[in-house]
């Protein structure tokens, strides 16, 4: 028995929405904070660019003695900047997770 083959072609459209990469922005980017800054004094504000407008949950791992997280701001910690850290460059990492 001979089977007849069927030839043909097919096409379909795919819709793609390009979205910029998500990045954290610090304002100011390189703050200088006095060692006697009051607890809670603003050090830098956090924002996100390229996001899909969903909420971002911030986390501040690392040096939580000198600095703290307050909403979307990095602020001076409750004990101010420790005298042993005064005048030293401190690297603070903030991580944001978008829902």
Q: Is residue 1 part of a domain?
A: no
Spell out, as residue ranges, where the chain has pLDDT lower than 50: none
**CA–CA distance from 42 to each of 27, 50, 76 (Å)?**
10, 24, 7
Number of domains observed in the structure of the chain: 1
Q: Does 59 fall in a domain?
A: yes
Residue 15 domain-assigned? no
> 0.75 exceeded by the pTM?
no
Q: Is residue 7 part of a domain?
A: no
Domain-embedded: residue 51: yes
The reported pLDDT for the residue numbered 68 is 92
In a domain, 12, yes or no: no
- The pLDDT assigned to 45 comes to 95
**Helix/strand/coil percentages in the chain, nearest 5:** 5, 30, 70
Question: Residue 76 is part of which domain span?
Answer: 23-98
Which pLDDT score is estimated for 42? Answer: 95
pLDDT of amino acid 2: 67
Structural domain includes residue 67: yes
């Amino acid at each position: 028995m001979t089977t007849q083959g069927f030839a043909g072609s097919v096409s379909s459209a795919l819709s793609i929405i390009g979205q910029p990469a998500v990045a954290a922005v610090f304002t100011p980017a390189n703050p200088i904070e006095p060692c006697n800054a009051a607890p809670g004094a603003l050090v830098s504000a956090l924002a996100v660019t390229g996001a899909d407008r969903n909420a971002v949950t911030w986390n501040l791992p690392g040096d939580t003695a000198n600095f703290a997280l307050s909403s979307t701001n990095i602020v001076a910690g409750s004990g101010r900047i420790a005298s042993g850290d005064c005048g030293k460059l401190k690297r603070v990492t903030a991580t944001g997770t978008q829902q």
